[in-house]
């Protein structure tokens, strides 16, 4: 469970709201049972010392547990796909170690979010990320950023060490063979921003703008992956290469 407040003196903390209801009503936990509570990116085994459906108090029963965060922070900038495909990217991406997600209003995105829809969608995606992070025993809930257009994304790119664009078109040679692999430039400790197109892909104009802004074309292999498969493949490939074995 992710704590909204830090541990108090005496190493106790309060779990409130939906999480408290989950502990009491769904898990039917008792005083003395153990849960993992995460505060400021660190996970601790805790004992339940008081129980109620609005608030549960826990006390640390040991030191910080070993973390399982990827040693590379991968932010996925996903061209807005149709339907609930972003839900899938967020849920599975969180399991695979994604650091953050930025929805991008791409030229070929068929759906558009207005302000109201955007707030609703981002709130829902943030909830999916939190549940998936708990499921995967992560100590960080991936942040779901506000929707950006390509210019907005490029303006944020200085915050990262490595900029990648998954683009099957610009990452192949004249005979159509993939040239620029995903992993060639990825190293421990980097903050990576990786852009993916929606169903219709990244337009040539967008690819050119991204390239000029320093995004390196990366191939995800010889097959064309769906918009929701591509970022998940990339996360799995980076994890396997960097954390493998």
Strands (E), the chain: 12-16, 34-39, 42-50, 55-64, 73-79, 100-105, 143-144, 148-149, 162-166, 191-196, 216-218
Closest to ligand SAM by CB, 23 vs 227, is: 227
Q: Burial code of 35-44, b = ≥16 C-beta within 10 A, e = fewer?
A: bebbbeeebb
- The correct pick among 199, 209, 239, 243 for binding ligand SAM (CB under 6 A) is 199
The candidate with the shortest Cα–Cα distance to 43, out of 22, 63, 21, is 63
| By the rule CB under 6 A, 202 interacts with ligand SAM | yes
| By the rule CB under 6 A, 210 interacts with ligand SAM | no
Closest to ligand SAM by CB, 20 vs 202, is: 202
| By the rule CB under 6 A, 200 interacts with ligand SAM | yes
Closest to ligand SAM by CB, 115 vs 223, is: 223
- The correct pick among 80, 210, 220, 238 for binding ligand SAM (CB under 6 A) is 220
Closest to ligand SAM by CB, 154 vs 202, is: 202
Site for ligand SAM in 115-174 (CB under 6 A): 166-168, 171
| By the rule CB under 6 A, 235 interacts with ligand SAM | no
Q: Specify whether the CB–CB gap between 195 and 216 falls below 8 A.
A: no
Closest to ligand SAM by CB, 144 vs 164, is: 164
| Dist. CA 148–CA 76, nearest whole Å | 12
| By the rule CB under 6 A, 196 interacts with ligand SAM | yes
Backbone angles phi, psi at 77, to 5 degrees: -105, 105
| By the rule CB under 6 A, 83 interacts with ligand SAM | no
Closest to ligand SAM by CB, 15 vs 202, is: 202
Q: Specify whether the CB–CB gap between 108 and 132 falls below 8 A.
A: no
| Dist. CA 170–CA 207, nearest whole Å | 8
Which residues lie near ligand SAM (CB under 6 A)?
166-168, 171, 196-197, 199-202, 219-221, 223-227, 230
């Amino acid at each position: 469970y992710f704590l909204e407040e830090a541990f108090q003196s005496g190493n106790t903390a309060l779990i409130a709201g939906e999480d408290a209801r989950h502990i009491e009503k769904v898990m039917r936990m008792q005083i003395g049972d153990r849960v993992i509570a995460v505060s400021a990116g660190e996970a601790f085994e805790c004992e339940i010392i008081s129980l109620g459906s609005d608030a549960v108090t826990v006390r640390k029963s040991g030191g910080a547990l070993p973390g399982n965060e990827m040693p590379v922070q991968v932010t996925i900038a996903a061209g807005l796909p149709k339907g609930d495909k972003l839900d899938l990217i967020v849920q599975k991406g969180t399991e695979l170690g994604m650091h953050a997600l930025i929805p991008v209003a791409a030229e070929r995105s068929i759906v558009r979010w207005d302000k109201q829809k955007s707030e609703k969608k981002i709130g829902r995606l943030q909830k999916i990320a939190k549940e998936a992070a708990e499921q995967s025993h992560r100590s960080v809930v991936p942040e779901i950023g506000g929707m950006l257009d390509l210019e907005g994304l490029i303006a944020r790119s200085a915050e990262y060490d490595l900029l990648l664009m998954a683009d099957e078109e610009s990452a192949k040679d004249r005979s159509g063979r993939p040239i620029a692999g995903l992993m060639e430039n990825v190293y421990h400790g980097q903050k990576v921003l990786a852009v993916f197109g929606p169903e219709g892909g990244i337009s040539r104009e967008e690819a050119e703008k991204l390239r000029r802004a320093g995004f390196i074309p990366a191939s995800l292999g010889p097959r064309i992956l769906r918009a929701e498969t591509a970022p998940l493949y990339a996360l799995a490939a980076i994890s396997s290469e960097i954390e493998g074995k």
